[in-house]
Structure formats: structure tokens, C-alpha cells
Structure 1
Amino acid sequence: MIIQKKDRDLYKLLLYVLGFLLLWEWLHPVNEITDTGNVHFFILFAAICFFLYYFDASWVFGTITKGIFILLVLHHLYFNMPLFRMQWLELFFQEVWINLLKIVNFEWYRLSDIFRSLLFFILLWLIIYLIQYWITVKKQIFIFYVMTILYITVLDTFTLYNGKFAIIRTVIVGFSLLGILYFIRLSEKEHLYEDKSLLYQWLKPLLLMIAGAAFFAYVLPKAGPIWPDPAPMIQSASESSSKQQIKKVGYGEDDSKLGGPFEQDNRIVFEAIVPVKQYWRIETKNIYTGKGWLSNNSKQAHDFMQDDVVPLNIHTEKNEIVNEASLVFQERYPHIVYPYGIEKISTNEDVFFSLDDFLEKITPISHQDGSKVALEAYTIQYRKPIFSVTKMSEVKDIEEAFKQSAFYLQHIDLPNELPDRVYQLAEEITKDKDNWFDKVKAVEKYFKTSNFVYDQQNVAMPKENEDYVDQFLFETQQGYCDNFSTSMVVLLRTIGIPARWAKGYTAGTRINMSGAERVYKITNNNAHSWVEVFFPNVGWVPFEPTKGFDNNASFDYDFINQKEELITELEEQKQQEQMPKERKKEMLGEDKQTAAASPSVWKQAKEKMTANWWKIVALLFVILIIGFWIYRIRSKWIPPLLIYTYRKKHDPSTFIKAYIVLLKQLDRIGLSREEGQTLRDYAHRIDRYFGTTLMSELTAEYEHYLYSGKQTTFDWCGQYPKWKELMKKTAG
């Protein structure tokens, strides 16, 4: 701004204070309309950013200050360890790396809370930079002001947020900001920068008018609304245009009719302290109807006491290590949520437990009246099951007696109306596989690599004559876990592999970042379904077909193959020792060439990258900062570069290019040419700013060069020193 420094600082202070207040209206409702907490940290961050901009802090100092503040806040909110213990920084960068991979894989819905907070800080950082750019360089804030008004009105209309006073505050702040910015533009255009009292004379009637208008608008009686509230109208129209009832995500017992959209629910169901993240099982179902799942009607149950071994043997082998999981519930249900390999349950309440043999659902029963009890907390001892890949791969065919058993027939049963193309698809997917495990993995991989889309909103329900799985596989290919898991169970059953549908919760979100014990938060959004496949020599094994989800089960690949390879390698080594030296040299040369192109090189590189991931992230972060810093100070290094470029050029057309480059550089440092302003007036303005006559002289030569027609007699060498001097001044 072409205003004296003292007045310029006063203008900046007013502008930044008003800009902060306008931004504050965006942050104020966040605490009410979302489950975001600690909004005061974000408000404080905004204040610090404007403070740094006001004092013209260097880019490096500002970036370091903001970065340190963000790290301190994230440490305070998410890391339960001393600040100066550097382990938390390593955990933080590890969390950032994991979430960046999720972004690359389009798994945005799985981002952790700490990474979401970091992204919110970065977004706020960028918005504040834009606001200060609009205020100090463009001197225009109208677009952001209108967006703020729209933001508040939309929240007031469609949420519980009351924007009555927010609108009044925004009008006062916004019009004050618009008025001051207009005065600054006017003072530059009319060269009124020498009179200090003009700002005060301008502000008095402006603020009086705004305050008076706001006061009378608030106290005067108002007519009722002309149109009805649009929110109920839109909701009503939405309900009438669709017969689908949007269900709330979470655990439910009725799975007879699957399909349709789900509404997100972030309410916490329970928190689990457990050594390793894992799925939480509730029940299984085995009767597929073409529309959903039912359970066997015959009720058979086994009762057992606390600290008794749970009579649930679904795995043949378990790990020797006994783990313990402690669960505390905020939403209580009359059933037990348990990990694979459960052995014992204990609680402080006076209950025993009942295991449904078909659902494999465990229910707490009161000793006093025999009613179901919703426990607040309990502890589970479990041993993780061992799923031997070697044993599962051995299953290629089964005995005829097993094929005729009720157990097998029950778990390959399918509706007679299931379309033939479902059978054909399963055969096509598994045609090159010769054992059950490879076939199961092929079907699981099919859902991860094909054109299936995970979506909880745009999910169809099957029509009366339409099969749920057939619709998903061949028509929509869009849905959530129920679609994926049910379809995999059906595909496996068509090729004679016994499978069933399992329900429960995923591992949830880790909320502590230190210690051997890990605390996970499981919400209604973590409600999930997956697949269990029966292998005769292993038991029931979980698989995960849903796109974007990972199976927490640990598969043991044994070491049989590695042992055979080691024996073969020793035999080859003995043969090489008996070979002539020349032949050995030839083989060594071949081995070196092969090793140079071997995939093991890439494997080693990948291992090194994995081991040093934090160094790579740090290096990329440094490169990003340096690149942004170079771009930020481009007005400093571009002039010397251009001066060096144009120093040896002598042709007349070079002057035109150099003059245009000078105009761009002036615009870059905030001395833009105003709309409708002539070149000569603009040149006089620049000369007043720098205290020279160089710009006017260059402009006169530029106009003479363009309009005189004597282009061949123009002497660029004589004008170069003037142009060079101006370019140096623009670089500071």
C-alpha cells in the first residue's frame, strides 16, 4: 500500500483483527455440529497466524512457529508420554505415513483422528494465508464474506446451530472490513496517503452506520417467514421420492433383508485394552435366503460359569501364549463381544453365560432371575488361533461321508432360485486352482481387484424377484460389508466349500500411542460382517473380501518350503565345490548378472525403505518446504535471473519482452496496475513509490517504440541499465 508506515501498520492491525473475527465465525459452530473437540486450539492457531503476518515474520520463522504449535497440540491431545521423550515423534511420523498410504489407496474413511486433526490444521493454515493475501495484496474480501454468510445460513437452516447472533456479528465485521479495504483502494488511487486523519474520518460514519443498521435490524419487529422451513420440505421430498428407509449403522439382530443405504453413527460402543488389534466376533449365520440371512431355529445352548473354559471350539490349533482383553462399554448389549481364540470370561457382576450352538453367540444370564444382562465391563482370556496355510492347502477333496453329513450340507446350502451365472462366475474365478485355500483366496482377491466399490449410501435393495448376491455381482457392484461378505459365502458354497456369515466389529481406532497395551475405540461405524470358511483339518478360518478392509487373522505359512529350498541350496553348493575352477567362474559371472536383474534387489530396496520410512518422510517434507520456500521468495530470485538472462541480448524486440517482465514483477510484489489506469499514470505511481524517474523514462521509450514505427533504430543497450536498476529495486 502507498501509505506511510505508521498508518499502514494501523490499517494492517484493523484488517487482521477483522479477518480473524470473520474466520472465527467458521470455527465457532464446529464444536456444535460435529464431534470435533478442543476447537479453542484451532482458534488459538488462527490468532498466532494473523499475529505472525502482522509483524511480517519471515517465512521460515513463521513456518517453524506454526509447525511447533501444531506438534505441541497433537502431543497434548493424543500422546500420553513426556514431551521431550522423542518416541512420540517417531510414533507421530509413523501415523502420518500409514495415513498417507490410506489416502493413496483411496481409503479416506479409515483416516485416524490424529491425522484428521493434522489435516484440519493444514487446511486452516492455507485459509488464513488466503485471507491475508486477499486483504493485503488484492484488497478484496467480498467473496469470503459472502461465503461466510452462506455458511452460517446453511448451518442455521439444516443443523441445530443457531446462527441468529452469528449473522449479526458477521454483518458488522464484514461491512467494516469491506469499508476499510475500499478506503485503502481509494487512497491509493487518489493519492490520499499523506493525510493521517482521513482514516478516522472514514471509520466514524462507517461504524456508526453499520452499528445503527445492526441494532435496528435486531430490535425492530419482523414479519414471519414467507416460505416454510426448507429442511422439512427437502426431507419430505427425499422420503417421498424413495421407498428405501435409511438405516443407522451398527449391530442389529435382524439380517433377513439386506441392502439399502446406511447412515453413519460415531457413537462409541466400547473401548478395548488389548495387546494386538483384531476383529470382535458376536455371532454367525448360515441360512442364505436370497434376500438376507437367518439362523437355525432349533435352540441348543451350553451354560458355563465365569472363568470356566468357553465351550467354543472352532479352531484345531491355538498359540501357547495367553492374551487378555479388557472391554468397557458405553452402549450396553446383552451379548458378549469376543476375539478369535476365546477361552475364559470374567466380570464383577453376578452372572453366568449361555452359548448358542448355532449362532455361536454368548449371552450373560443373571443368577438371580435368569434374565439377560447387558454387562458394563468384562475381561476375556484368549489364545490366538493358528491357521496353517500348509494344512489348508492340502485340502483338495473330502471324504464322501463328510459330504453327506448334516454339517457339510448345511454350510453349502443355497436357494434353488439362485441364478446360474453366480455358479458360472465362481467356476471362472477358481478354474486354475487345485485346492480349497487357493480357491478361497482367489474369490477373496476377486472382490479386491475387480470394479467393486465400497459405498454406504448409494446401495440398492433387491427387488421381489431379484437375488441379493446376483444383483451385487452383476448389476450394481456397489455396496458395503454385507454385500461383499454375503457374496463371497455364496460363491464358495456354489463350488462345494463350506462357508458362513460372521458378524461383529472391526478393530476400531487406536486412541493411545504408547505402551505395550493398546487402547482401541470401537464405534457403531465399526460394525462389520465377514466370511468364515471351514477346513476339515484346521477349523473355521476368517477371510475378508470387503474392499478397503484388512484381515487381522494371522496365517502361518510354516517353514516347509523354506526347508526344502535350503536342502536344495546345500546340495547345489556341494556340486559347485566339485566343479573345475573355470566353470565356477562362468557360473559366478552368470549368477552376478542374474542377481543384477533379480527381483530380490527390489525386495532389498523395499526393505530398506520400510526400515527407514521416517527418514524418507522427513526428506520429502524438507524438499516440500524448500520448494515452497523457493516459490514464496520468487520475487527475490527472479529479478537477478532475468537480469543475467537479458544482459547480452541486443535486438530491439528484447525491450518489449523486458518491459512486460518488469510489469509482471511489479504485480508480483503487490504494485499492480489498476483497472483503467494508463501506463504513464502507472509509471508515475511506481516512480513515487521507489523515488526515481526510471519507470516513466522506460514507459516513454516503450510507447515510442510501439507507436513511432522506428523500431530498427531503438537502442536497448541504452535502456538496459534503467531496466536493471528497477528490477533490483523490486527484489528489495
Structure 2
Amino acid sequence: MSIWRRPQGLEWAAALCLFLMLREWLLPLGELTDTGTLWPFYVIVAGILLIDLVVPYRWLTFPLKLAGIFWVVHRDFSDTAFFSKDWLIQVYTSLLRDLPLAMQQDWTTMLPLSRNLLFDLMLVLLISMVTYLVLEQRQGLWFVFLTELYLAVLDTFLPYEADGAIIRTLIYGFLMLAVAHLHTMSRRAPVVGKSRWTIWRALLAPVLIVTFAVGVAYAGPKKEPIWPDPVAFLTGNNGAGVGTMKKVGYDNNDENLGGPFQQDDTLVFVGVTNERTYWRGDSKDVYTGRGWTKGDREYLLIPDPASYEWSQMLYQGTETKDVTATLDFSRGARFSTLFFPGQLKKVASIEPAQTMLVYDRNHQQVELQSSRERTRIAPVRPESYQLEAEVPVISEKAIMQADMNYPEEIKERYLQLPAEMPERVKELALSITKNAATPYEKVRAIENYLRTGGDYKYETKDVPVPAPDQDFVDHFLFDSRRGYCDHFSTSMAVMLRTLDIPARWVKGFAPGTAVGKDGLGNDIMEVKNKDAHSWVEVYFPGQGWIPFEATSTFTSPVRINYDRTTEDTQLPVPVPDLSEHVVPDRGDGRLDELEEADRPVTTSRSMPWQLKAIGAGLLLAGAYVSWRRRKEITLWWLQRKMRKHPAELYPDRYHLLLVLIQHVHSKREPGETLREYVKRLSLPGDKRQDLQYLTHLYERVYYGCREMEEKAKEIAHKIMERLSQQLKP
């Protein structure tokens, strides 16, 4: 007796429809994940269907499917013969190592061979079950419904356009149901000879019905959606002009910026470094009017990262400070993008070790990829890596002398703007920089305007989105005037381009929150999703790409050596305007007061109106007293914060003292330097002298890249305590 059987034509037709439906499940992987190619999955699905059709004994199908899986994996991961001893040992050792990791759901630490093998085995089991239920048991309606639901969820909640897939699934599904029904009828009432064609002719009716229904639905007129954004509706943000509520975090898709987001305290990595600065991930150069994309890319493959060194990746001819950093992702989210402070010099080590680098020369982005893969792209999300980098110390004298003789390739790539860019954006940029003579002065003028002079509000929840035909920057600058780092950084880059100054959009993470120090005195920084950030890099001939910060709630990453001849010629330093913020948060770059939503209070039973009236009267009385005593209350709160703030964080304590002084005396004017502000204050001689001393220490520490001596720390701490306690409203 033969182990093979000859399927009927209707069975082949049903299997083809099922294959096409399973293909719709796999297609989104190419867009939503890092899967490089889908053909191995197609081979697996087709092989399972073929084996289940032609092998009548179920006990025999499993070893055949298992052999097919091993053949697919062997083709991708081994150069030896299929039945060689080395190949079998490699499979055995990989599974022995990675099965415990699979039980712990530590997928990224697993080797690519065992990870793909286990995934393919799971795929075999699932498809075998679907084949049994749909093709043998004729229970296909549930699978059609499940596939439609799967595609609808992807289309609604993820950046995947499933319109065509939903229509195709309807066609495949109803044809599969019709074929399965006819096959069941033919088995109950067998037909022979020419009568067999009667079954095939019976398929003509369902084909015509499905074709007509789909054609009318596709070509017919359609009303505008009553529920245009279900995500915003479900999150309570379905108002006009407000975008979908999303969580903050690092993302590669920046084509449509804006809209509200929620804070996310999920840990990304722990960094140990000798320099608190931004963690650079990627840059983008093409502004579309809605967001950013990348232009032409030039890749360099680096098989041995430890032996490769970068030279002047970003900065040219500038003084730099060496930085070492270790990034540990074992307790947080993982990315295939390599994050580094300043400009990268060397990747000393990576875990896992079987990792190579893919360097994008045009955007200075580094991606990590498995060195074991041969036929498909396999991004690596590392557990940790160690870096050597450097941050710039800009000479004010040198950067002031930088002219606008940019290389042609720089102008062609980094002066690009959409053809429909509103003219008033350029007019605003010209008005801001009308008194600036050099490119650097223009850059700082626009930076200061966005940070302190333009009445723009940092906001993350009540963030409108522009109309479909409105430019993102134009909408932020002139209409909404509120947003977060993407709004400020994009606006600065675009305005600089209107002035023919090359600029680009950069993203990564803010420094994070300091949680301690290691044995060598390096800072231990916790970087979370809420630290995801974007800023601007500007090109200066002879200097390279220099970072600038347009968002007022973040500290500028650029360090400037004020080496000009006199103090009067120094430019104002753009320090964030803290006059409206009680507690600056330099760790995560956000103000928690802007992120905490008010929660409504509900009661289980109603209160008598008399109690409500008494309560309202007490509230009004308390509000009146608080209003009358608001200065004393605010001053008490700020002094309390000063006492609790760690003494070793001198720049942060200085900013708190500055807030106290502005609360009691006059506020700083936009663009006013610290020295000018201290000089203008009406203070007694001893207090003025103390404040000038503290300001001088701040400038040395923050802008001069110098460490404070222990004696100076003690003196500064005593002066701050004395000044804060002597302030009276």
C-alpha cells in the first residue's frame, strides 16, 4: 500500500486559498519588524500544506516537516553538508545553550540559529493545526474572521496599511469556504466522468458573487469616517486637531511628527560615563513638511568593531574632551541602534561578541548586525557595549570666524526644504536674526528665540496636530505655539535652512538620571523611555557638526570656551528660562508637572447641599489665604527644595538658587546673560559679591569643563545656604 495519496482538484484549490490567507499573516512582518526576507516562511507554509495534502498518515507528516525545517535553517546558517557531524553538533550545542533562555523569554540573548529554529518549529505546529481544522474538518469560517480581525487591528493601531489585505482576505476566505463546501458535497454524492465538471461550474456562482460585492464596495462612493481615529477616541483625545495619544520613546519612524504622548518610565539602559551629555542615535536630513526622512545613504560594513577607529566623525579642528561609556541594556529595552556620547571614536567591546557594525557615513548612524547571518539581515539588540568617544569644547573665537563658504555637497543635502514651505517661516527667521552678523550669531539668535523669547510652551498632552495640507513647522510657530522637543528642534533646523545655514535633525536620548557613582568616580545614569529627545546639529566650516538645543526644558549639550579678548564681546549664553518652573528636572529632561494628569474624584453617594456649601466656603477661604500668602508659600517650598537637593550637584543647586532670586527680585530678561542679570539686581554689596562668586563658579564648571575643588564646594554650599535663608518676599 502506498504512503502517498492523490488529492482532488478541489483540495488543491482550498489549499491554495489557505496559503494565500496565511501569506497575509506574514506580509506585515516585513514592515513592522526587522525581518529581512519572507521567502523562508513561505517555503515552510507551502511545505506543510503540501505534506498534509499528499501524506495520508499523520504520524509520518511530523518527521517530514521536521526534516524540512532543518533544511531551511541549515541553508541559512551553515556551510557544511546537511548530514555532517559538525552541523548536528552545532544544532545540539545551540539548543542546549538557548533553551533555558527561551524559557526565560530572553530572546535577544539567544543565538540566531536556535532562535530561528524554535520559531520555525512553532510555526509548523500552528500551521499544522490550522490545516487540520480548515482543510480536514472544514471549519474555515473562524479562521477567515480571525484573519480579518488581525488585519483590522494592525491597520488601526500600527503603521501598516491593510486596506488591500482586508479585501484580498475576503476573496480568498469566501472562495475557500465555497470550495470546502463543494468538496464535502462531492464526497457525499460522488460524481464521475463528465459530471465532475459540474462541481467546477458550481464555483462560478460564488466567484461572481464575491467579485461583484468586492467591486461595488471598492468603486462605490464612501462617506467620511465618523470615527476617524479610534485610538484617540479610546484614549479620550478625539477632539479636533489633537493627535493620537502615544507613549514617549525612541522610534525609527519620524515621517509624521507631533501629537500628544504619555510619559513612560520604562528603563532603556544604564550608562556609566565620565561625562553627562546626550546619547546620539541617528540624524535625518530630508524635511517633508510633516516630518523627517533620510536621503541617500552610504554604508560601511565593519566586521571587527574592536579594530576599527573613527576619526573626526562629526567635529573638525575643535578641542575635544575624551569620554568613556559603558551601556548596559540587560534590565531595559534593547535597540539595534548604537547610542554614543558626542562623536564616536571606538567600540571597545560588544556583548554578544558575534556582532558586526553597519555604519551610515552620511548620517553618522551605527547599526548592529549578527556576524553569523549570511543570507538575511539579522539586527542585533545587544546586552551591553563599551565605547570611546569625545565631546567638543568650542572656541568662541574660532566659531565666530566661521563663514558661509560651505562645500557643495553640504549645501545640496542640508539646505533642502519643501517647495510649498510657507514664506512667513523665512520672514520670521530673518526678523529674529536681523542684528546678527555671523552664522554663529544667527544660530544662537534662533536658539534663544525658541527657548526664551518666542512665548512657546513646552507641552506633551494638549498638543494639536496640523491640518493635512499645513506645514508642521508653520503650524507650531504661528498657530499652536506649544509642543515638545520634536517641535522645537524641527523649527530651529528649518528656520536655519531658510537662512542658507546647513542644519539637520538629530535624535537619541537626554543624559538621564544620575543614580550614583562607580569606583572610578564615573556617573551611573539611568536612561528611560521618557529621556528620548531630539536636537539640532549645525554645520560650520572648519568646525564640523555642532549640536544646539532649542527646547527650553533641556540643557544645551554644547560647551563653549569663551576665549575672546573682552567680556563685553561675549555672546549671551542660552540658559533655560526657569522663571515659570518651580523645580527644574535636569535628569530626565521633562517637567513632571506637565506630565501628571488630573484625576477626577468620584463619590459613591450624594452630599447634602448644606455640606457642599460649607465645603465650598472653606475652599474659597483657603484659596483666598493662599493667594494672599502665595509669595511666602512659594518661597518656603523653594527653600525646602534647596535644603533637600544634593550638595554635589552644583549646577542644579545654582539653578534652584536662581529661581529663588527671581521669585524675590526681578526676573531675567530674554537673552540676558547670567553676569548681566546679577549685575542688574538690587542687592546689598555682600550678597551681590556672593552671587557673583557663585555665578563665576557655575560658568567655570558648566562651560569651562573644569572640576570644582573640595574647598570650593564647601564654600559654595555655605554661601548658597546663607543666601537662600536670607531671601524674604
User: TM-score normalized by structure 1?
Assistant: 0.46
Larger Rg: 1
User: TM-score normalized by structure 2?
Assistant: 0.46
